Amino acid sequence: MNFSEVFKQSNQLCKVSPDGKYLATCVQYRLVVRDVSTLQILQLYTCLDQISHMDWSSDSLFILCAMYKRGLVQVWSLEQPDWHCKIDEGSIGLVSSRWSPDGRHILNTTEFHLRVTVWSLCTKAVSYIKYPKACQKGIDFSRDGCYMALAERRDCKDYVSVFVCDDWHLLRHFETETQDLAGLEWSPNGCVLAVWDSCLEYKVLLYSLDGRLLSAYSAYEWSLGVKSVTWSPNSQFLAIGSYDEKVRILNHITWKKITQFEHPSSINNTKAVVYKEVEKRTAVGSDDLSLHITIGTALYNTRSKYEICPSPVQIPVVKPDPDRANPKIGVSSLAFSSDSRYLATKNDNMASVVWVWDMQKMSLVAVLEQTSAVRCFQWDPCRPRLALCTGNTTLYLWSPAGCVSVQVPTEGGFQVQSLNWHRSGDSLMLLGKEQLCLCYMDTDQEDNIREFTATK
């Protein structure tokens, strides 16, 4: 495993282009485009204000930089560096900005979600979409880029509008049976739209592409409901994580629950492997300790490794404050592996634990208990390999063969706060607070899992 040098970035805005060749990072008001393999700076653009959001177009030719405070969006071209485009939303303000799937339109959501403006970069046409809903996930594009689903709220009722991305033609507009729509997501095959209600009511509705209600699922009443929803890449499963610390899996044929995964605080399952991260602190120089004692923990060489715990295992649970809204309890993160074989979940009141479930056997495969709360985890887009980080200087990888914890070798301590896989699965982008580091995996799998490994 090789680590690149550390680069500066701001706002966690670092994205690899969809074709995987370029890496764009934002440093304050500058946009830096590098080559992914050599990390050489190819282009450098300067925006008018600090960049709040940055995104690549789908054809990897353009990058949009949104500055929400100023209400500006600037679009840069890689091929023609002197091409410029500036979209000013004026006094109406800007809350979010995104590309359309064809890479030629920009959708800006104005402040207070008054409307969504569709700017075209090809024509002079401007479209407006009224009453967009301000919710967790109000807009979703289908994977093939043909359709866009938008959540609307009119007269205290929720609607979903389906637009054809070609010409922004409204294909379907239907009311949903939700109290307060919280989000919607297309299935990967683009034929089913999953719509879920806010946490006050457990309701997941499945609509077909043409607007028919296929099925409604509600696991229970009254208690706080759905926290997170995700489709499996093969569109066969819909995983629903809820506040009752369970994940329910629906199947695509009958839309009924086929199984539910629970996150108990004590694990008795002998088939699951429980990896526990154990930290070993070795002081660097004990003689100089007195002098450097005020300096932070960077002095201590904290090496951590995984140990396999025999069952039964107790998981540390943090009880959330019952009086606060959006309590830190329930399954908030779900991710399927690219082959839909594994599902990784995180339960918020056991924030330092990641659970990995096998979808073929519908059972728990591994539990990874870290020393601090897990910040981010993501599956390798090509193989069943999970990378996670907990905000310290270590990168953790799990695969069915075993677990690795790798220290990110940088001076000054690089706290990994989030990570992103490259679409080839060969490298990982690690984002710290203001830093960025690329980690190149060895193509030979065995090299990865040689040192610091706890294997089954």
Partner 1 sequence: MGEWWTTVPIGTSLGNDEISSISHVTMSPSRQNNLVSMYSSLPPSRSSYHVLSSFCTEDNIPQCISYINQELDSLGLSSCIEASAPGGAGLSRVPALNAMHELMELHRRDMSTLEELEREQLKKCSALDHIQMNNSRLKDQLELSIREKSGLHETERQLQLKIKTMQSCLKTEKDEVQKLQSVVAGRASQYSHDAKRKEREAAKLKERLSQLLVDRKDKKLAIDVLNYLGRPDGKRSHWKTAKATVGHEGEMYKSLLNDYEVSQRSLMLENAELKKVLQQMKKEMIHVLSPRQPSPRGAAADDSQDQADSDEEEKPADSSRETLDQSCEYAKEQLANSIRQQWRKLRNHMEKLDSQASLVQSQLESNREMIPRETHKDEMERMRREVQQCKEFIHVQQQLLQQQLNTSFDDETAALLNDCYTLEEKERLKEEWRLFEEQKRNFERERKNFTEAAIRLGREKKAFEEDRASWLKNQFLNMTPFTDRRRCSSSDGQSALSIRSEPEMRMSSTKAQLAQSSTYTTFSTPKPSQSAAVPSTTELYRTLRLIPDSR
Residues in touch with partner 1 (CB under 8 A): 59, 82-93, 102-104, 111-112, 117, 119, 121-124, 126, 146-147, 164, 166-167, 169, 171, 189-191, 199-200, 208-210, 222-224, 252-253, 322-327
Q: Collapse the DSSP code of 111 into the 3-class scheme (helix H, G, I; strand E, B; otherwise coil) and give the result.
A: helix
Query: Taking the complex as a whole, how short is the minimal distance between the CB of residue 356 and partner 1, in angstroms?
Result: 27
Query: Taking the complex as a whole, how short is the minimal distance between the CB of residue 110 and partner 1, in angstroms?
Result: 9
Closest to partner 1 by CB, 146 vs 250, is 146
Closest to partner 1 by CB, 44 vs 134, is 134
Query: Taking the complex as a whole, how short is the minimal distance between the CB of residue 251 and partner 1, in angstroms?
Result: 11
Query: Taking the complex as a whole, how short is the minimal distance between the CB of residue 164 and partner 1, in angstroms?
Result: 5
Closest to partner 1 by CB, 142 vs 393, is 142
Closest to partner 1 by CB, 327 vs 391, is 327
- Whole-angstrom CA distances from 148 to 104, 172, 207, 303, 381 are 15, 10, 14, 47, 24
Query: Taking the complex as a whole, how short is the minimal distance between the CB of residue 120 and partner 1, in angstroms?
Result: 8
Say if residues 63 and 55 touch (Cβ distance below 8 Å). yes
Query: Taking the complex as a whole, how short is the minimal distance between the CB of residue 181 and partner 1, in angstroms?
Result: 13
Contacts (Cβ under 8 Å, ≥6 apart) of 358: 341, 342, 364, 365
Closest to partner 1 by CB, 203 vs 252, is 252
Q: What is the dihedral of CA 134, 135, 136, 139, to 10 degrees?
A: -70
Closest to partner 1 by CB, 187 vs 399, is 187
Query: Taking the complex as a whole, how short is the minimal distance between the CB of residue 289 and partner 1, in angstroms?
Result: 47
Say if residues 31 and 44 touch (Cβ distance below 8 Å). yes
Closest to partner 1 by CB, 128 vs 288, is 128
Say if residues 422 and 4 touch (Cβ distance below 8 Å). no
Q: Any alpha helices (H) in 237-391, and if so which ranges?
A: 289-292
User: Which helix (H) or strand (E) covers residue 447, if one does?
Assistant: helix 445-448
Residue 344: Cβ-neighbour burial (10 angstroms; 0-12, 13-18, 19+)? buried
What whole-number distance in Å separates Cα of residue 62 and Cα of residue 45? 12
Say if residues 245 and 329 touch (Cβ distance below 8 Å). yes
